[in-house]
Amino acid sequence: MDGRQGTHMDWDHLRTFEAVARLGSVTAAAKALGVSQSTASRHLARLEESAGSPLFVRSAPLGLTERGASVLAAMRPMLDAALAAEAALEDTPELRGEVTITSTSELVRWELVPRLARFHVAYPNLRLRLLADNRVASLAAGDADVAIRMVRPSRGELIARRWRTITHGYFAARGLELHDAVPWLGLAGSLAEIPEQRHAARAFAGRPPRLLVEDVEALGLAVAAGLGVAILARELAPRLGDLVEVAPRDIGVEDPASIPARDIWIVVHRSRQRLPRVRAVTRWLAGQTR
């Protein structure tokens, strides 16, 4: 024997490496894996020692070296096999555990919560955690298992399925006097750039809004209170009061261009999509189209 030891690749080190490559930082990888930052750093150092060369370019975010990219490509089948094994172990007649769903506060309150009783009849041993947030939670970082998003993701290893399509109209409180200078209400903050708000800004160009809020439900309630007109989803408007859809010409909108419809997407990370408890939740969601 020549006295050399074979290279030993610890699975925990490889999992840490994959998470750092995916998330771009040791801190984020440690959080996603549920380990300390020092543990994640140690895993990475030992793997690079085994590889005999750096696997990352120390930048922000961390980038892969050529050797690192080769290692990631080589370990991908191993990762997929491990996830398949985890799914097989979990695939029991009575699914257990927790699944986290993130969505906007309006969709959580108006669409998900009223249907939870039926979910728990079908899956009595599964526990749901609902995160109501207008921000985009990171599926890759493990903040959630499933996201219901208003925009289809275009980057990352995310799998998206169209859930439903919502349409919009101009709404006012019944009895509000309509005229060419009627006040309009809109959205601010994280919702300022959504298609409906951009359409409203164009439609009411030259007329500053009376009120901007960072919550679609609050916008609808302001309309119901008679403060002005606003673009609202046709499914949401009837739940918020005695609202009526009004014609653009009656509120001084000269360009009657159609308000863009919006697709809503069920999104999962590819690393989670095959887990039985996650599949069960996405199947249930897919059936909740009305």
Q: Taking the alpha carbons of 282, 283, 289, 290 in that order, is the dihedral positive or negative?
A: negative
Question: What is the C-alpha to C-alpha distance for residues 75 and 40, in angstroms, rounded to an integer?
Answer: 18
Total Cβ atoms within 10 A of residue 206: 5
Which region holds residue 130: left if phi is over 0, alpha if psi is between -120 and 50, else beta? beta
Structure tokens at 126: 């599964």
Cut 0.85: pTM above it:
no
238-247 tens-digit pLDDT: 888 899 999 9
Which region holds residue 177: left if phi is over 0, alpha if psi is between -120 and 50, else beta? beta
48-91 tens-digit pLDDT: 888 888 898 887 778 888 888 888 888 877 776 766 666 555 55
209-232 tens-digit pLDDT: 999 998 888 999 999 999 999 999
Can you give the pLDDT at residue 150? Answer: 80
